[in-house]
């Protein structure tokens, strides 16, 4: 297993930029990786893909230096195990709201005795189908980037406790679900929502773990960087295709003055 380039960058005081992959397309994954992102996040919480779909994307990414990661559907040991067995270098777990939930997430990422991850390292893709099993087993705990999302009111209150859980590398604010937890989904103009995000941000930065998030109406990329955000997942393959298509069509309609 190689040294995780994103984890190494963060440990050295640097920042990393990533991109969401939702189109379940190896070609889109390859294009995004070749653009120069540090990592990509295969989204299996909101994306339609299966573990088998992710393998096709991982094949495309393997020819690039990008660090492949997966967001699992939930804080579920089976979902985490299946994602890790594919050979990703980072896993994002949604809606971690307590230290107990964080401990469960970390345990699902680690082989016994450090955790509870099921062991099939003699055959999984992560270990080169068993060809590199000893190296993989010896290095995966140190090289895997474990990202816990803070997306609930309870999660914000528990940030100091979650941050103290060994093995949690990044606390990642999900601003949209966090605003929904406050009863104002997408209501970033609301003072209560903005205060909640401010509290979460300060809590993570003060905790000493790495802070991650996405740009939103509450925080631009520049504001995230200024606030000390170290891992920014900005943009998505869906948004690039959608916005590119909309721009072309709108420019054409404006030029010709003709409706569809």
59 in active site: no
C-alpha pair distances (Å), 176 with each of 124, 246, 252: 35, 24, 33
Burial per residue of 38-61, b for 16 or more beta-carbon CB atoms within 10 angstroms, e otherwise = bbbbbbbbebebeeebbeebbebb
Residue pair 35/251 in contact by the 8 Å Cβ criterion? no
**Distance between CA atoms of residues 253 and 260, nearest Å:** 8
Which entry of 46, 59, 199, 253 is annotated as an active-site residue?
Answer: 46
List the structure tokens of 79. 């979902």
List the structure tokens of 161. 């406790």
177 Cβ partners below 8 Å, 6+ apart?
Answer: 94, 95, 149, 151, 152
For the chain, the first-to-last Cα distance in angstroms comes to 53
Residue pair 212/233 in contact by the 8 Å Cβ criterion? yes
**Active-site residue set:** 46
């Amino acid at each position: 297993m190689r040294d995780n380039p994103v984890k190494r960058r963060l440990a050295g005081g640097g920042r990393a930029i990533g991109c969401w992959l939702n189109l379940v397309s190896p070609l889109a994954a390859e294009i995004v990786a070749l653009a120069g992102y540090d990592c990509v996040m295969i989204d299996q919480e909101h994306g339609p893909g299966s573990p088998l779909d992710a393998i096709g994307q991982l094949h495309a990414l393997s020819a690039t230096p990008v660090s492949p990661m997966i967001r699992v559907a939930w804080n579920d040991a089976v979902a985490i195990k299946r994602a890790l067995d594919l050979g990703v270098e980072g896993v994002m777990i949604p809606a971690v709201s307590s230290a107990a939930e964080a401990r469960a997430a970390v345990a699902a990422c680690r082989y016994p005795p450090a955790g509870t991850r099921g062991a099939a390292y003699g055959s999984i893709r992560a270990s080169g189908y068993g060809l590199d099993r000893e190296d993989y087993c010896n290095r995966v705990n140190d090289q895997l980037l474990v990202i816990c999302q803070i997306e609930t009111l309870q999660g914000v209150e528990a940030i100091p406790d979650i941050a103290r859980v060994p093995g949690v590398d990044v606390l990642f604010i999900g601003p949209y679900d966090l605003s929904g937890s406050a009863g104002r989904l997408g209501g970033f103009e609301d003072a209560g929502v903005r205060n909640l995000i401010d509290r979460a941000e300060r809590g993570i930065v003060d905790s000493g773990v790495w802070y991650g998030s996405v740009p939103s109406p509450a925080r631009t990329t520049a504001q995230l960087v200024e606030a000390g955000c170290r891992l920014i997942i900005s943009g998505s393959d869906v948004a690039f295709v959608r916005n590119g298509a909309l721009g072309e069509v709108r420019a054409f309609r404006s030029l010709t003055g003709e409706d569809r």
